[in-house]
Amino acid sequence: MKIKILSALIITLLFNCGKTSSPDGRAQLRDQALAEKIEKLEQKQIVILDSLQLLDKKMKVISAK
């Protein structure tokens, strides 16, 4: 009887040890999500800067006329 309870306890503990069950695992998941958000923001920033450069060129053409 004790062996069954101990086995069930060990199996339960093994299945409950995921990344979200420890502070370090949660921190890694959070850091990964933040890194992805930063990457997306950097990509958006590049697009915005390209658009600003294009607008600047158009304004220079208009002001030269």
Going from the first residue of the chain to its last (65 residues), give the mean pLDDT of each consecutive group of 10, the final group possibly shorter.
Answer: 81 71 85 98 98 97 90
Report field, pTM of the whole predicted structure over 0.85: no
Q: Are 19 and 28 in contact (CB under 8 A)?
A: yes
User: According to the model, what pLDDT value does residue 16 have?
Assistant: 67
Q: Which residues form the domain of 41?
A: 2-64
How many domains does one find in the chain?
1
Residue type, 60: K
Which tokens hold the place of 30? 């959070």
Amino acid 65: pLDDT: 79
Dist CA 49 CA 41 (whole Å):
12
